[in-house]
Structures are given as structure tokens and as C-alpha cells.
């Protein structure tokens, strides 16, 4: 690849890094985990859940080491918590893209160095 093409690709990477940094620098809060509707049986004899009408509650599931910790979501907090967990997922995707992008940038920089380096006279 010629030096001109490498510089163009570096410029594209620079723009993408800028976009990712703007997203990563946002101040809105994040919550690690996943919000979902938990449906379960209570085990009491004669309860309606024994006939298939399961009890429902909204929970936050947070991965911890080799298991998950579940936390009940307070009434009226489901939507904000869902938004915060979605922002967390977007943040992590952007972070992962940033890692790949920096590796790509370093590869391009190495190529540019090879293109521009001349043997001693």
C-alpha cells in the first residue's frame, strides 16, 4: 500500500476515534448487567403459579465471577435502569471497537514507517 493510501486510512481511523471518544466521554450513568422480567413458581400448594400463572418481577442480573447476582428493581425504576444497562452495553461495544481500532492504527503506522524509510546514502 502506498503512503498516500495509508494516510487516508489513518485519517478515517482518526475520525472514528473522535466519534468513539465523544460517546465514551458522556456523563450519563451506566449500570452493568441486564434487566429482564423474571417468571417463577413460588412452590406453595394451591397457588395460581402451580397452574401456569407464574409470578413476575423485574430484576437486574449482574455477572459476578462465575455466577450472576440478581437484584429486584424498585418500583418505577425499570425504564431508567433499562436505559442505563443499554448505555453500558453501548459503552462496552465502543471500548472494544477502540481496542481494535488502535491495533489497526498501529499496523498502519508501521506500514507508513516502512513506506517512508529509505536506505542510507
Domain extent listing, the chain: 3-116
**In what order do the strands lie in the sheet containing 34-40?**
34-40, 55-64, 67-72
pLDDT band, very low/low/confident/very high, at 78 (cuts 50, 70, 90): very high
Q: pLDDT tens, 79-105? A: 999 999 999 999 999 999 999 999 999
pLDDT band, very low/low/confident/very high, at 4 (cuts 50, 70, 90): very high
Type and span of the H or E element at 121:
none
Separation of CA 95 from chain center: 7
Q: Could you tell me if 73 and 33 are in contact, meaning their C-beta atoms sit under 8 angstroms apart?
A: no
If you average pLDDT over every residue of the chain, what do you get? Answer: 94
CA 34 – CA 63 distance, rounded (Å): 9
CA 12 – CA 23 distance, rounded (Å): 17
Q: Give the predicted TM-score (pTM) of the model.
A: 0.83
Q: Residue 116 phi/psi, 5° resolution? A: -90, -15
Give all strands (DSSP E) within the chain, no chain letters.
34-40, 55-64, 67-72
Residue 45 has pLDDT above 90, yes or no: no
Amino acid at each position: 500500500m502506498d503512503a498516500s493510501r495509508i494516510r487516508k486510512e489513518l485519517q478515517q481511523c482518526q475520525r472514528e476515534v473522535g466519534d468513539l471518544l465523544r460517546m465514551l466521554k458522556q456523563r450519563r450513568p451506566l449500570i452493568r448487567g441486564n434487566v429482564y422480567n423474571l417468571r417463577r413458581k413460588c412452590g406453595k400448594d394451591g397457588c395460581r403459579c402451580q397452574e401456569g400463572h407464574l409470578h413476575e418481577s423485574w430484576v437486574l442480573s449482574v455477572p459476578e465471577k462465575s455466577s450472576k447476582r440478581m437484584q429486584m428493581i424498585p418500583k418505577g425504576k425499570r425504564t431508567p435502569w433499562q436505559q442505563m444497562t443499554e448505555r453500558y452495553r453501548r459503552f462496552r461495544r465502543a471500548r472494544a471497537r477502540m481496542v481494535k481500532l488502535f491495533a489497526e492504527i498501529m499496523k498502519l503506522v508501521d506500514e507508513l514507517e516502512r513506506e517512508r524509510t529509505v536506505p542510507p546514502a
